[in-house]
Amino acid sequence: MKLRYFEFKNHSDDRGSLVAVESNKDIPFNIKRVYYLFDTDASCSRGFHAHKTLQQVLICVSGECDICLDDGHERETVRLSNPSCGLYVGNNIWREMSNFSKDAVLLVLASELYDESDYIRNYDEFLRYVGVDK
Ligand code: TYD
């Protein structure tokens, strides 16, 4: 599956680096919610769900972690480690996050407020939802 990345401008100078992300400009949706994962145990995997409508951009602003994305047909795993790079996760994509480094902070920009009814937490149900026969 083709992964979509956004390369954000890094305003870097001798004081350090600064990255800004603006709604509908640097990413293709209005940011309604921001959350971040940190202190994740290296042996822990998270996610294991898809969203019916939610779009997200994942930015590993510190450390590193693996993101596995699956559209029901293909599955791809990438290691995120660049704070200037966002990985787009559209709707109907199953995601799993794992192998978090100790210092990992995974920032998530989301197009909607938290809504449990938008989640598909069962993989077989996800395959049915996207019309893939097992
Ligand atoms: P959970 O969905 O289990 O995290 P993940 O699937 O990404 O590993 O979320 C953990 C808890 O946090 C769960 O009780 C729901 C809550 N939560 C919110 O209250 N708001 C949010 O925006 C998110 C993403 C989770």
Looking at the chain, the number of H-run helices and the number of E-run strands are 1, 10
Q: Does 51 participate in catalysis according to the annotation? A: no
- Which helix H or strand E contains 97, and what residues bound it? strand 94-98
b/e per residue 16-38 (b: at least 16 CB within 10 A) = eeebebeeeebbebebeeeeebe
How confident is the model at residue 80, as a pLDDT?
A: 98
Name which residue sits closest to atom 17 of ligand 1, judged by CA.
Answer: 114
Q: Is the dihedral of CA 134, 117, 90, 76 positive or negative?
A: negative
What are the tens digits of pLDDT across the range 67-124?
999 999 999 999 999 999 999 999 999 999 999 999 999 999 999 999 999 999 999 9
Query: Does the Cβ of 119 fall within 6 Å of ligand 1?
Result: no
Separation of CA 2 and ligand 1 centre (Å): 26
Best mutation site among 41, 49, 96, 126 for ligand 1 pocket (most ligand atoms within 8 Å of CB): 49
How confident is the model at residue 113, as a pLDDT?
A: 98
How confident is the model at residue 54, as a pLDDT?
A: 98
Best mutation site among 34, 114, 116, 123 for ligand 1 pocket (most ligand atoms within 8 Å of CB): 114
Query: Does the Cβ of 45 fall within 6 Å of ligand 1?
Result: no
Provide the pLDDT confidence category of residue 133 given band limits of 50, 70 and 90.
confident
Please name which of 88, 86, 29 lies closest in space to residue 61, comparing C-alpha atoms.
86
